[in-house]
Structure 1
Amino acid sequence: MDLLRREGFDNLTMRMVATAAGVGTATAYTYFSSKDHLVAEVMWRHLRQTEPPSYTEDQNTAARAITALRRITFLLGDQPEMAKAVTSALLGTDPDVAHLRFRIGLEIRRWIDDALGADSDPDTVEALELLYSGALLRAGMGYASYTETADLIQKTAILLLRSTDRP
Protein backbone atom coordinates (compact mmCIF):
# COMPACT_ATOMS: atom_id res chain seq x y z
CA MET A 1 0.00 0.00 0.00
CA ASP A 2 2.80 2.41 0.86
CA LEU A 3 4.54 1.64 -2.41
CA LEU A 4 1.32 2.09 -4.35
CA ARG A 5 0.64 5.44 -2.65
CA ARG A 6 4.17 6.62 -3.34
CA GLU A 7 4.59 5.36 -6.91
CA GLY A 8 1.03 5.32 -8.21
CA PHE A 9 -0.52 2.36 -9.98
CA ASP A 10 0.80 3.22 -13.43
CA ASN A 11 4.41 3.33 -12.21
CA LEU A 12 4.17 0.33 -9.88
CA THR A 13 6.04 -2.79 -11.02
CA MET A 14 6.26 -6.29 -9.64
CA ARG A 15 10.01 -5.74 -9.34
CA MET A 16 9.35 -2.82 -6.97
CA VAL A 17 6.93 -4.92 -4.95
CA ALA A 18 9.41 -7.79 -4.73
CA THR A 19 12.21 -5.48 -3.63
CA ALA A 20 10.01 -3.87 -0.98
CA ALA A 21 9.00 -7.34 0.26
CA GLY A 22 12.62 -8.50 0.37
CA VAL A 23 12.13 -11.30 -2.14
CA GLY A 24 13.28 -11.91 -5.68
CA THR A 25 11.10 -10.90 -8.59
CA ALA A 26 10.67 -14.55 -9.60
CA THR A 27 9.38 -15.34 -6.11
CA ALA A 28 6.85 -12.52 -6.34
CA TYR A 29 5.63 -13.91 -9.65
CA THR A 30 5.24 -17.32 -8.02
CA TYR A 31 2.42 -15.86 -5.93
CA PHE A 32 1.04 -13.15 -8.23
CA SER A 33 1.02 -13.34 -12.01
CA SER A 34 0.81 -9.57 -12.41
CA LYS A 35 0.33 -6.34 -10.51
CA ASP A 36 -3.38 -6.58 -11.38
CA HIS A 37 -3.49 -9.98 -9.68
CA LEU A 38 -1.72 -8.54 -6.61
CA VAL A 39 -4.06 -5.55 -6.39
CA ALA A 40 -7.17 -7.74 -6.80
CA GLU A 41 -5.90 -10.01 -4.01
CA VAL A 42 -5.34 -7.01 -1.73
CA MET A 43 -8.90 -5.82 -2.43
CA TRP A 44 -10.32 -9.29 -1.77
CA ARG A 45 -8.51 -9.56 1.55
CA HIS A 46 -9.49 -6.03 2.53
CA LEU A 47 -13.15 -6.77 1.81
CA ARG A 48 -13.07 -10.09 3.67
CA GLN A 49 -11.46 -8.46 6.72
CA THR A 50 -14.05 -5.69 6.86
CA GLU A 51 -16.93 -6.33 9.20
CA PRO A 52 -20.28 -6.05 7.45
CA PRO A 53 -22.46 -3.42 9.07
CA SER A 54 -24.80 -4.28 11.85
CA TYR A 55 -28.32 -2.96 11.60
CA THR A 56 -30.66 -1.57 14.18
CA GLU A 57 -34.22 -2.74 14.46
CA ASP A 58 -35.54 0.67 13.50
CA GLN A 59 -33.74 0.62 10.13
CA ASN A 60 -35.97 -0.20 7.19
CA THR A 61 -34.86 -2.03 4.05
CA ALA A 62 -33.62 1.07 2.22
CA ALA A 63 -31.65 2.30 5.23
CA ARG A 64 -29.98 -1.11 5.67
CA ALA A 65 -29.11 -1.32 1.95
CA ILE A 66 -27.68 2.20 1.99
CA THR A 67 -25.62 1.42 5.10
CA ALA A 68 -24.12 -1.64 3.41
CA LEU A 69 -23.44 0.11 0.10
CA ARG A 70 -21.83 3.13 1.80
CA ARG A 71 -19.60 0.84 3.87
CA ILE A 72 -18.41 -0.98 0.74
CA THR A 73 -17.95 2.30 -1.13
CA PHE A 74 -15.71 3.72 1.58
CA LEU A 75 -13.48 0.64 1.72
CA LEU A 76 -11.28 2.44 -0.78
CA GLY A 77 -12.61 5.97 -0.49
CA ASP A 78 -9.70 7.24 1.57
CA GLN A 79 -7.12 5.55 -0.67
CA PRO A 80 -7.43 7.08 -4.15
CA GLU A 81 -4.41 5.28 -5.62
CA MET A 82 -5.71 1.93 -4.38
CA ALA A 83 -9.15 2.72 -5.74
CA LYS A 84 -7.68 3.54 -9.15
CA ALA A 85 -5.59 0.36 -9.03
CA VAL A 86 -8.57 -1.82 -8.08
CA THR A 87 -10.70 -0.32 -10.84
CA SER A 88 -7.99 -0.99 -13.40
CA ALA A 89 -7.19 -4.47 -12.09
CA LEU A 90 -10.77 -5.71 -11.91
CA LEU A 91 -11.57 -4.43 -15.39
CA GLY A 92 -8.50 -6.08 -16.90
CA THR A 93 -8.25 -9.37 -18.70
CA ASP A 94 -5.77 -11.15 -16.42
CA PRO A 95 -7.17 -14.68 -15.98
CA ASP A 96 -5.80 -14.82 -12.44
CA VAL A 97 -7.97 -11.82 -11.56
CA ALA A 98 -11.15 -13.47 -12.86
CA HIS A 99 -11.63 -15.74 -9.83
CA LEU A 100 -10.98 -12.82 -7.46
CA ARG A 101 -13.43 -10.61 -9.36
CA PHE A 102 -16.00 -13.40 -8.92
CA ARG A 103 -15.26 -13.74 -5.18
CA ILE A 104 -15.43 -9.98 -4.64
CA GLY A 105 -18.74 -9.88 -6.49
CA LEU A 106 -20.16 -12.71 -4.40
CA GLU A 107 -19.11 -11.01 -1.18
CA ILE A 108 -20.70 -7.72 -2.22
CA ARG A 109 -23.85 -9.65 -3.19
CA ARG A 110 -23.86 -11.27 0.27
CA TRP A 111 -23.64 -7.87 1.94
CA ILE A 112 -26.54 -6.55 -0.13
CA ASP A 113 -28.61 -9.70 0.39
CA ASP A 114 -28.03 -9.54 4.16
CA ALA A 115 -28.98 -5.86 4.21
CA LEU A 116 -32.24 -6.52 2.40
CA GLY A 117 -33.08 -9.38 4.76
CA ALA A 118 -36.62 -10.66 4.33
CA ASP A 119 -37.19 -8.15 1.51
CA SER A 120 -34.38 -9.64 -0.56
CA ASP A 121 -35.22 -10.77 -4.06
CA PRO A 122 -32.83 -11.51 -6.95
CA ASP A 123 -33.96 -8.56 -9.08
CA THR A 124 -33.47 -6.02 -6.30
CA VAL A 125 -30.08 -7.47 -5.36
CA GLU A 126 -28.98 -7.34 -9.00
CA ALA A 127 -30.19 -3.75 -9.39
CA LEU A 128 -28.24 -2.69 -6.30
CA GLU A 129 -25.15 -4.56 -7.53
CA LEU A 130 -25.37 -2.70 -10.85
CA LEU A 131 -25.84 0.58 -9.01
CA TYR A 132 -22.79 -0.08 -6.85
CA SER A 133 -20.49 -1.29 -9.63
CA GLY A 134 -21.47 1.51 -12.01
CA ALA A 135 -21.03 4.16 -9.36
CA LEU A 136 -17.65 2.77 -8.29
CA LEU A 137 -16.51 2.65 -11.90
CA ARG A 138 -17.36 6.35 -12.24
CA ALA A 139 -15.47 7.13 -9.05
CA GLY A 140 -12.50 5.01 -10.12
CA MET A 141 -12.37 6.92 -13.40
CA GLY A 142 -12.22 10.18 -11.46
CA TYR A 143 -15.67 11.55 -12.32
CA ALA A 144 -16.64 11.96 -8.68
CA SER A 145 -15.14 11.68 -5.22
CA TYR A 146 -16.03 8.67 -3.12
CA THR A 147 -18.13 10.87 -0.85
CA GLU A 148 -20.07 12.15 -3.86
CA THR A 149 -20.35 8.58 -5.13
CA ALA A 150 -21.71 7.31 -1.82
CA ASP A 151 -24.27 10.13 -1.83
CA LEU A 152 -25.29 9.25 -5.39
CA ILE A 153 -25.59 5.58 -4.47
CA GLN A 154 -27.79 6.55 -1.52
CA LYS A 155 -30.05 8.75 -3.66
CA THR A 156 -30.39 6.09 -6.34
CA ALA A 157 -30.94 3.25 -3.86
CA ILE A 158 -33.80 5.23 -2.33
CA LEU A 159 -35.36 5.52 -5.79
CA LEU A 160 -34.87 1.80 -6.46
CA LEU A 161 -36.29 0.76 -3.13
CA ARG A 162 -39.07 3.34 -3.06
CA SER A 163 -41.73 0.69 -3.48
CA THR A 164 -40.37 -1.21 -0.48
CA ASP A 165 -39.91 1.62 1.99
CA ARG A 166 -37.91 4.79 2.59
CA PRO A 167 -35.17 5.51 5.13
Structure 2
Amino acid sequence: MSSPASRPISQESTRRRLTQQQAETVSRLTDAAVEVLNEEGFDGLTVRTVAKRAGVAPATAYTYFSSKSHLVAEVFWRRLSAGVGEPDPALPAQERVAEILRSVSMVVAGQGQLGGAVTMALLGTDPDVEHLRLRIGGFIRRRLADALEVDPENPGPLVDALEMIYAGGLVHAGMGHMSYEQTSERLVAAAHLLMENR
Protein backbone atom coordinates (compact mmCIF):
# COMPACT_ATOMS: atom_id res chain seq x y z
CA MET A 1 0.00 0.00 0.00
CA SER A 2 1.38 3.42 -0.95
CA SER A 3 2.01 6.07 1.66
CA PRO A 4 -0.02 9.30 1.64
CA ALA A 5 3.04 11.22 0.46
CA SER A 6 3.41 8.97 -2.61
CA ARG A 7 -0.23 9.06 -3.73
CA PRO A 8 -1.28 11.47 -6.47
CA ILE A 9 -2.98 14.56 -5.04
CA SER A 10 -6.26 13.69 -6.79
CA GLN A 11 -6.41 10.41 -4.87
CA GLU A 12 -5.72 11.86 -1.43
CA SER A 13 -8.13 12.67 1.30
CA THR A 14 -7.80 13.38 4.98
CA ARG A 15 -10.44 10.71 5.54
CA ARG A 16 -9.89 8.00 2.92
CA ARG A 17 -8.42 7.15 -0.44
CA LEU A 18 -10.65 8.35 -3.27
CA THR A 19 -11.92 6.72 -6.44
CA GLN A 20 -11.65 8.81 -9.61
CA GLN A 21 -15.31 9.84 -9.33
CA GLN A 22 -14.89 10.82 -5.68
CA ALA A 23 -11.72 12.76 -6.54
CA GLU A 24 -13.68 14.71 -9.16
CA THR A 25 -16.37 15.50 -6.57
CA VAL A 26 -13.73 16.75 -4.11
CA SER A 27 -12.16 18.89 -6.86
CA ARG A 28 -15.55 20.43 -7.65
CA LEU A 29 -16.06 21.17 -3.95
CA THR A 30 -12.64 22.77 -3.51
CA ASP A 31 -13.06 24.88 -6.65
CA ALA A 32 -16.52 25.98 -5.51
CA ALA A 33 -15.11 26.84 -2.06
CA VAL A 34 -12.74 29.40 -3.59
CA GLU A 35 -15.60 30.95 -5.58
CA VAL A 36 -17.84 31.22 -2.49
CA LEU A 37 -14.95 32.59 -0.42
CA ASN A 38 -14.33 35.37 -2.92
CA GLU A 39 -18.01 36.32 -2.91
CA GLU A 40 -18.97 35.80 0.74
CA GLY A 41 -15.69 35.73 2.70
CA PHE A 42 -14.79 33.15 5.33
CA ASP A 43 -17.70 34.17 7.58
CA GLY A 44 -20.19 33.54 4.77
CA LEU A 45 -18.67 30.23 3.70
CA THR A 46 -20.48 27.03 4.67
CA VAL A 47 -20.07 23.47 3.49
CA ARG A 48 -23.75 23.54 2.50
CA THR A 49 -23.29 26.66 0.30
CA VAL A 50 -20.21 25.17 -1.33
CA ALA A 51 -22.06 21.91 -1.99
CA LYS A 52 -24.88 23.79 -3.69
CA ARG A 53 -22.42 25.73 -5.87
CA ALA A 54 -20.64 22.49 -6.81
CA GLY A 55 -23.89 20.65 -7.58
CA VAL A 56 -23.26 18.15 -4.79
CA ALA A 57 -25.70 17.02 -2.09
CA PRO A 58 -24.80 18.55 1.31
CA ALA A 59 -24.71 15.09 2.90
CA THR A 60 -22.18 14.00 0.29
CA ALA A 61 -20.05 17.12 0.89
CA TYR A 62 -19.99 16.38 4.62
CA THR A 63 -18.66 12.87 3.94
CA TYR A 64 -15.52 14.57 2.60
CA PHE A 65 -15.29 17.71 4.73
CA SER A 66 -16.19 17.98 8.41
CA SER A 67 -16.24 21.80 8.45
CA LYS A 68 -15.54 24.89 6.41
CA SER A 69 -12.08 25.07 8.01
CA HIS A 70 -11.37 21.53 6.85
CA LEU A 71 -12.49 22.47 3.33
CA VAL A 72 -10.28 25.59 3.19
CA ALA A 73 -7.29 23.72 4.65
CA GLU A 74 -7.73 21.09 1.93
CA VAL A 75 -7.74 23.81 -0.75
CA PHE A 76 -4.45 25.14 0.65
CA TRP A 77 -2.90 21.66 0.90
CA ARG A 78 -3.77 20.86 -2.71
CA ARG A 79 -2.37 24.15 -3.98
CA LEU A 80 0.74 23.86 -1.84
CA SER A 81 1.57 20.30 -2.86
CA ALA A 82 0.93 21.08 -6.54
CA GLY A 83 2.70 24.47 -6.51
CA VAL A 84 5.86 23.91 -4.48
CA GLY A 85 8.21 21.66 -6.37
CA GLU A 86 11.43 20.03 -5.30
CA PRO A 87 14.42 22.38 -5.03
CA ASP A 88 16.65 22.75 -8.07
CA PRO A 89 19.95 21.01 -7.27
CA ALA A 90 21.78 23.23 -9.78
CA LEU A 91 21.18 26.31 -7.61
CA PRO A 92 23.26 27.31 -4.58
CA ALA A 93 21.69 26.51 -1.18
CA GLN A 94 20.55 30.09 -0.49
CA GLU A 95 18.74 30.24 -3.83
CA ARG A 96 17.15 26.82 -3.30
CA VAL A 97 15.77 28.01 0.06
CA ALA A 98 14.62 31.29 -1.52
CA GLU A 99 12.83 29.36 -4.26
CA ILE A 100 10.96 27.24 -1.71
CA LEU A 101 9.96 30.23 0.46
CA ARG A 102 8.78 32.20 -2.58
CA SER A 103 6.72 29.25 -3.80
CA VAL A 104 5.13 28.64 -0.38
CA SER A 105 4.25 32.30 0.14
CA MET A 106 2.83 32.76 -3.36
CA VAL A 107 0.46 29.75 -3.30
CA VAL A 108 -2.50 31.95 -2.35
CA ALA A 109 -1.28 35.26 -3.84
CA GLY A 110 -3.88 36.92 -6.05
CA GLN A 111 -6.58 34.52 -4.84
CA GLY A 112 -8.92 37.06 -3.30
CA GLN A 113 -9.94 36.11 0.23
CA LEU A 114 -8.35 32.67 0.18
CA GLY A 115 -5.19 33.74 2.03
CA GLY A 116 -7.00 35.16 5.04
CA ALA A 117 -9.34 32.18 5.09
CA VAL A 118 -6.40 29.77 5.10
CA THR A 119 -4.92 31.57 8.11
CA MET A 120 -8.21 31.30 10.03
CA ALA A 121 -8.81 27.70 8.96
CA LEU A 122 -5.37 26.41 9.91
CA LEU A 123 -5.65 27.94 13.38
CA GLY A 124 -8.85 25.95 14.00
CA THR A 125 -9.28 22.95 16.29
CA ASP A 126 -11.06 20.57 13.90
CA PRO A 127 -9.20 17.18 14.02
CA ASP A 128 -9.22 17.01 10.20
CA VAL A 129 -7.59 20.45 10.09
CA GLU A 130 -5.01 19.30 12.62
CA HIS A 131 -4.20 16.35 10.36
CA LEU A 132 -3.74 18.69 7.39
CA ARG A 133 -1.73 21.17 9.47
CA LEU A 134 0.73 18.38 10.29
CA ARG A 135 0.84 17.26 6.66
CA ILE A 136 1.43 20.84 5.46
CA GLY A 137 4.14 21.48 8.05
CA GLY A 138 5.87 18.19 7.23
CA PHE A 139 5.76 18.93 3.51
CA ILE A 140 7.36 22.37 3.92
CA ARG A 141 9.94 20.99 6.36
CA ARG A 142 10.93 18.33 3.82
CA ARG A 143 11.23 20.89 1.03
CA LEU A 144 13.44 23.15 3.19
CA ALA A 145 15.54 20.20 4.37
CA ASP A 146 16.00 19.07 0.76
CA ALA A 147 17.02 22.60 -0.22
CA LEU A 148 19.69 22.55 2.50
CA GLU A 149 20.60 18.90 1.84
CA VAL A 150 19.97 17.84 5.44
CA ASP A 151 17.97 14.99 6.97
CA PRO A 152 14.28 16.00 7.14
CA GLU A 153 13.86 13.83 10.26
CA ASN A 154 16.56 15.81 12.07
CA PRO A 155 17.10 18.98 10.04
CA GLY A 156 18.65 21.16 12.74
CA PRO A 157 18.16 24.72 13.97
CA LEU A 158 18.39 26.47 10.58
CA VAL A 159 15.33 24.65 9.22
CA ASP A 160 13.54 25.28 12.55
CA ALA A 161 14.27 29.01 12.20
CA LEU A 162 13.16 29.07 8.55
CA GLU A 163 9.91 27.34 9.53
CA MET A 164 9.26 30.00 12.17
CA ILE A 165 9.94 32.76 9.67
CA TYR A 166 7.62 31.43 6.99
CA ALA A 167 4.84 30.62 9.49
CA GLY A 168 4.98 34.12 10.94
CA GLY A 169 5.15 35.68 7.49
CA LEU A 170 2.11 33.81 6.22
CA VAL A 171 0.07 34.69 9.30
CA HIS A 172 1.12 38.33 8.87
CA ALA A 173 0.02 38.29 5.21
CA GLY A 174 -3.17 36.37 6.02
CA MET A 175 -4.13 39.11 8.47
CA GLY A 176 -3.80 41.63 5.63
CA HIS A 177 -0.77 43.50 6.98
CA MET A 178 1.07 43.14 3.67
CA SER A 179 0.59 41.42 0.34
CA TYR A 180 1.81 37.91 -0.33
CA GLU A 181 4.24 39.36 -2.88
CA GLN A 182 5.74 41.63 -0.20
CA THR A 183 5.78 38.77 2.27
CA SER A 184 7.60 36.59 -0.23
CA GLU A 185 10.44 39.08 -0.64
CA ARG A 186 10.73 39.68 3.11
CA LEU A 187 10.88 35.95 3.76
CA VAL A 188 13.67 35.59 1.22
CA ALA A 189 15.59 38.53 2.74
CA ALA A 190 15.23 37.06 6.24
CA ALA A 191 16.41 33.65 5.00
CA HIS A 192 19.48 35.23 3.40
CA LEU A 193 20.33 36.97 6.68
CA LEU A 194 19.98 33.73 8.62
CA MET A 195 22.08 31.75 6.21
CA GLU A 196 24.81 34.37 5.99
CA ASN A 197 25.19 34.37 9.78
CA ARG A 198 25.26 30.62 10.40
Residue of structure 2 in register with 1:154 after alignment: 188
Q: TM-score, normalization: structure 1? A: 0.90
Residue of structure 1 in register with 2:80 after alignment: 47
Partners in 2 of 1:54 and 1:65 — Cα distance?
8
**Equivalent residues of 1:53, 1:71 under 8 A apart:** no
1:53-132 aligned at under 5 Å gives the runs 53-55=86-88, 57=90, 59-117=91-149, 121-132=155-166
1:2 offset after TM fit, Å?
1.8
**Equivalent residues of 1:61, 1:119 under 8 A apart:** no
After the TM superposition, which segments of 4 or more aligned residues of structure 1 sit over 4 Å from their partners? none
Q: Residues 94-152 of structure 1: CA distance to partner in whole angstroms, max 9, x if unpaired?
A: 12210000000000111111111259842111110100000000000011111111111
After superposition, the CA RMSD in angstroms is 1.8
Query: Structure 2 regions of 5+ residues with no counterpart?
Result: 1-33
Partners in 2 of 1:9 and 1:141 — Cα distance?
13
- Answer 1 or 2: higher relative contact order, Cα 8 Å, separation at least 6: 1
Q: TM-score, normalization: structure 2? A: 0.76
Partners in 2 of 1:95 and 1:12 — Cα distance?
19
Partners in 2 of 1:119 and 1:37 — Cα distance?
30
1:9 aligns with 2:42: yes
**Equivalent residues of 2:83, 2:103 under 8 A apart:** no
1:50 offset after TM fit, Å?
2.2
Identity of aligned residues (%): 48
Give the length in aligned residue pairs: 163
Structure 1 residues 129, 51: CA separation in 2 closer, same or farther (over 3 Å shift)? closer
